[in-house]
Amino acid sequence: MTTNANGATAKRPVRVWVDGCFDMMHYGHANALRQAKAMGDVLVVGVHSDAEIAKNKGPTVMKEQERYAAVAACKWADEVVPDAPYNTTVEILQKYNIDFCVHGDDITTMADGTDCYQAVKDAGLYRECKRTQGVSTTELVGRMLLMTRDHHKRRMSAGASSLSSFNSEDLGSFGAGGRSVSLRTGISHFLPTSKRIVQFSEGREPKDTDRVVYVDGTFDLFHVGHVEFLKRAKALGDFLVVGVHDDQTVNAIKGSNYPLMNLHERALSVLACRYVDEVIIGAPYSVTEDVLNKEYKMTIVAHGNTPTEPDLDGCDPYELPKQRGIYVEIENPNATITTQGIIDRIIENRVVFEERQRRKNAKAAVEAQKEAEEKMMKLSVGGESA
């Protein structure tokens, strides 16, 4: 409890701690931060250094400065603590005036196999959130090592849901403009639901006086280069709408094995960025009349100052906003990484990352066996008590 300027007693904000590697920051990381933030008032995120991760887990894809910046751009992170210890201690929580620590419901261990959170668990300062199934840095690295198209082919496993089953009312709040939108993306590595998108969305509408800025793109393997671009785009106005192209469009324009992440995954990563107010899921590659006026009246259409691939019909995708004088070019940030750069890091260090994958899989198998044995032990004790 604290006393404010009027002499009244005010409740001290609850400070929550989450730590991790946050390598190739994805929507699973963002969802963990979202859940943790909901448990308190201020979310403090500790990010491990490259050296700490290499010692306990293996090499990172993203460098520590890139990871620090990626976490800081997540809209649920209030404070970022660089070089956080891999082993979470009571002392580190006390240093940052933390009330409790939050981690996913999976086991995380040190290099010697001990639980990273045992000390805070013993002190009663530990809470769990639900891990987001279907995505992990290990899984994304695996996709790049394989570099196949299976992650976005038009195949759906039995019983899997798709955003293409949403009706226009479901999508109205997400920038679909009350119209049916084809959102089929093929294989999903998680089951997309309207609830998850609502959780990631702000739900804020622009004011009548707001300047609405529109940008679009693939936003594959969402990284700090994307973050800086979106920050600069948001600075052009008051409300930022981001169009994310569907998988078939990206593959037709870029070819090869792109995108690495499907439409659902990419849209959630964009929604988690603090500079983004709204996302159009499955936006057309060319900026159309519907994009400019149907849901929001776009004041500015922005794009980076790099060459743009023409649409499949050979036309300039920004021809319409250019004709109307609302097209603005943004100086591309001098980012340390691009989507292709991330893939190149994996390919150039294939042997190192394949060994990392092998170690991770072996470690996961041991942890799963240990967890299964603990559950069996609890069931056995419970049966004896009965």
pLDDT attached to residue 170: 33
**CATH assignment of 162-338, among 3.30.870.10, 2.40.70.10, 3.40.50.620, 3.40.50.970:** 3.40.50.620
Residue 79: what are its φ and ψ, rounded to 5°?
-140, 145
Instruction: Please tell me the total number of residues recorded for the chain in this structure.
Output: 386
The distance from CA 34 to its chain's CA centroid, rounded to whole angstroms, is: 11
Residue 122: what are its φ and ψ, rounded to 5°?
-65, -30
CATH class as words, domain 14-129: alpha beta
pLDDT attached to residue 51: 95
Spatial distance between the Cα atoms of 103 and 120, rounded to a whole number of angstroms: 11
Number of helices (H) and strands (E), helices first, in the chain?
Answer: 15, 12
Spatial distance between the Cα atoms of 332 and 329, rounded to a whole number of angstroms: 9
50 Cβ contact list (under 8 Å, min separation 6): 60, 63, 64
Could you list the mean pLDDT of each consecutive 10-residue stretch along the chain, which spans 386 residues?
59 95 92 96 98 88 94 97 96 97 82 85 94 75 66 38 30 31 37 76 89 96 93 97 95 83 92 96 96 95 90 94 97 75 81 68 68 70 53
| CA-wise closest residue to 210 among 296, 291, 293, 274 | 296
pLDDT attached to residue 4: 55
Spatial distance between the Cα atoms of 156 and 93, rounded to a whole number of angstroms: 44
pLDDT attached to residue 168: 27
Q: Is 9 exposed, middle or buried (0-12, 13-18, 19+ CB in 10 A)?
A: exposed
Give me 222's structure tokens.
């969402």
Our CA angle for 183, 188, 193, nearest 5°, is 65
pLDDT attached to residue 114: 83
Entry pTM? 0.76
Contact 244, 270 (CB under 8 A): yes
Spatial distance between the Cα atoms of 296 and 375, rounded to a whole number of angstroms: 52
Question: What H or E segment, with its residue span, contains residue 19?
Answer: strand 15-20
341 Cβ contact list (under 8 Å, min separation 6): none
Spatial distance between the Cα atoms of 227 and 219, rounded to a whole number of angstroms: 10
| CA-wise closest residue to 284 among 246, 341, 325, 335 | 246
pLDDT attached to residue 156: 33
